Amino acid sequence: MSSLKIDILTLFPNMFSGPFEESLLKKAQKAKRIDIQIHDLRKFSREKHHKVDDTLFGGGPGMLLKAEPLVEAIEYLSKKEGEKPWVIYLSPQGKTLKQSKALELSQKKHLLLVCGHYEGIDERVMDWIDEEISIGDFVLTGGEFPAMVLVDAVCRLVPGVVKEWESIINDSFFSSKLDYAQYTRPADFKGKKVPEVLLSGNHKEIKNWRETNALNRTLKKRPELANVS
């Protein structure tokens, strides 16, 4: 039984074939920690040639995704699983994705991601949407790339996906700080040496050094995070 099921509704299902078939996401699906299903929006269109978009009332450039196929898809996928999924519309008007939100979403049983395109979606569809999420203050060609980012951020927080949970809690943003500096062999690279404390074997001193280093890096690179409790 999967820990988290994710349905993705999109006009371009082939865009997802690569990212979800590599690395941790591939392993997590094979281990049934997560179940990702991609759905072509055009299959829910009842119009000739499976049309899913139309011009805007009131005029204006571009096309808009129609309400009928979107709502039919959302309702179908909701009934199919027997339990209403948490429906997310990937939109530049949504709240910016944060680590805390990714953790919250990782604890849900079923997510349904709606990828907008063109000028977006008919506003009436918003009555079927639980939440809008953005990955930043910029506009992309569609919601597919934001959906990939959200899935990756959320799925790595599902228990068992990342082998060592300690690596998760030490991530940047997990505790309102950036991650501490990290080093591996060789201990001396072109005269640049690893801090002696990391070679000492003294776990208490290493822990203190990492906490101080993480705070200093946060103050230097992202000082606004240091004000978050």
SS3 call for 17:
coil
Q: What is the number of structural domains in the chain?
A: 2
Task: Based on the fold, state whether residues 195 and 115 are members of the same structural domain.
Answer: no
What is the rounded CA–CA span in Å between residue 23 and residue 28?
A: 9
pLDDT along the chain (229 residues), means of 10: 87 94 93 97 92 95 96 94 89 95 96 95 97 96 97 94 74 77 96 97 96 94 77
* pLDDT score for 229: 41
What is the rounded CA–CA span in Å between residue 64 and residue 55?
A: 6
Exactly one of 7, 13, 144, 156 is catalytic; which is it? 156
Task: Based on the fold, state whether residues 109 and 212 are members of the same structural domain.
Answer: no
Asked, for residue 163, whether it belongs to a domain, the answer is: no
pTM of the model: 0.88
SS3 call for 153:
helix
Q: Please identify, among 155, 185, 201, the residue that sits at the C-terminal boundary of a domain.
A: 155
What is the rounded CA–CA span in Å between residue 189 and residue 194?
A: 9
Amino acid sitting at position 26: K
Exactly one of 35, 54, 119, 152 is catalytic; which is it? 119
What is the rounded CA–CA span in Å between residue 94 and residue 200?
A: 47
Exactly one of 19, 42, 92, 152 is catalytic; which is it? 92
Cβ distance 56 to 66 under 8 Å?
no
186 among known catalytic residues: no
Exactly one of 54, 152, 171, 179 is catalytic; which is it? 171
Sign of the C-alpha dihedral computed for residues 151, 153, 154 and 157 taken in this order: positive
Q: Determine the structural domain holding residue 176 and report its residue range.
A: 170-227
- Dmax (CA) for the chain in angstroms is 71
Pick from 54, 6, 3, 15: nearest CA to 144: 15
Q: What is the CATH number of the domain that holds 56?
A: 3.40.1280.10
Task: Based on the fold, state whether residues 150 and 174 are members of the same structural domain.
Answer: no
171 among known catalytic residues: yes
